[in-house]
Amino acid sequence: MVVYWLKRHGGIYFMSKRHIIVTGGAGFIGSHLAAASLEMGHHVTVLDNLHTGKEDNIPEGADFINIDLGHESSYSRIDGIKCDAVFHLAGQSSGEASFDDPEYDFKSHVASTFYMLKWCKDQGVSRFLYSSSMSVYGDPDNVPVGEGHSFKPKTFYAAGKAAAESYINLYGRLGLDTTVFRLFSVYGPGQNLDNKMQGMLSIYLSYMLEGSPVIVKGSPERYRDFINVSDVVAAWLSSYENPVTYGKLYNLGTGVKTTVSELLNELKAAINAPGYPIEFAQNTAGDQFGTVADISLIKKDLNWRPAIDFNAGIVHMVSWAQGRRR
């Protein structure tokens, strides 16, 4: 699907084989990026400590090194590896969980990004793409929120992403060709349904598949911008060798607002249970009330558009999840 999108929309289709390192490639988004890169003929090496990722997620054909990138001493294990680019997605993935262990969150986001940037500079790797987050905006002053909005992090996770971006900007001025994507609410097949601290859509769906009442932490009027993982992968791969994206920062969402109530109705329709029980609880610490992406810059630079309709995307994900349970 990703390769088809790139051809149809004029994205760069790589004819020469590259070696791409995907950090966090045993996780949800990283494994999709690794698989799509392999599909395009690239050599892929996955770096992951399996803290939240699963080795089963790593696509067949990728090399794998179990490594904790938040510790400087780990890097001697990868010195000398020749690669063309680093897709850096490794890191703790939950704002809520970041309150449980702020030190680990710091190491997984800030330290790992700093050490990975330094490694690229030392090894002569010039291309670095990073997975940041909508969470850096906190509760934005207005929506849709543009890339120029100030940082207002509400969690240790968001503060770590903001700090990592600052190091990336610095290394960009020191000669690396960097691109940062601030991901909004990514969903799709392969998402971790066992993790009830990350991914609003996947959390609600996991309750439904268990047959338990859905626990909603906070107001049903909260809202998000949901983007399918295949659209995320298409944006990353079309930017990889496109110089217009070097040194740039992009929101990666759809620009469409979906409230919690609307999301729950979509999920109930997809599982054919319109009366499914919902229970409301206290807000999660640091939860954003609502945010929607202004995606005008990425549309302009990459001729990129989200291709997956939200309703169709949910139906596909529910079908995948039900098959996985069976």
**Whole-angstrom distance, CA of residue 304 vs CA of residue 125:** 26
* CB distance 201 to 185 below 8 Å: yes
Cis peptide bond prior to 144, omega within 30° of 0:
yes
DSSP 179-208: EEEEE-EEE-TT--TT-TTS-HHHHHHHHH
3-state helix, strand, coil in the chain (%, to 5): 40, 20, 40
* CB distance 102 to 156 below 8 Å: yes
Which pLDDT score, from 0 to 100, does residue 7 have?
47
Decide: helix, strand or coil at residue 88: strand
**Whole-angstrom distance, CA of residue 161 vs CA of residue 230:** 22
DSSP 10-63: T-----S--EEEEETTTSHHHHHHHHHHHHTT-EEEEEE--SS--GGGSPTT-E
**Whole-angstrom distance, CA of residue 197 vs CA of residue 112:** 22
Q: Return the closest-CA partner of residue 22 out of 39, 46, 43.
A: 46
pLDDT under 70 in the chain at which residues? Answer: 1-15, 326
Which pLDDT score, from 0 to 100, does residue 126 have?
96
What structural domains does the chain harbor? 2-187+226-255+292-308 (3.40.50.720)
b/e for 232-245, b at 16 or more Cβ within 10 A?
Answer: bbbbbbbbbbeeeb
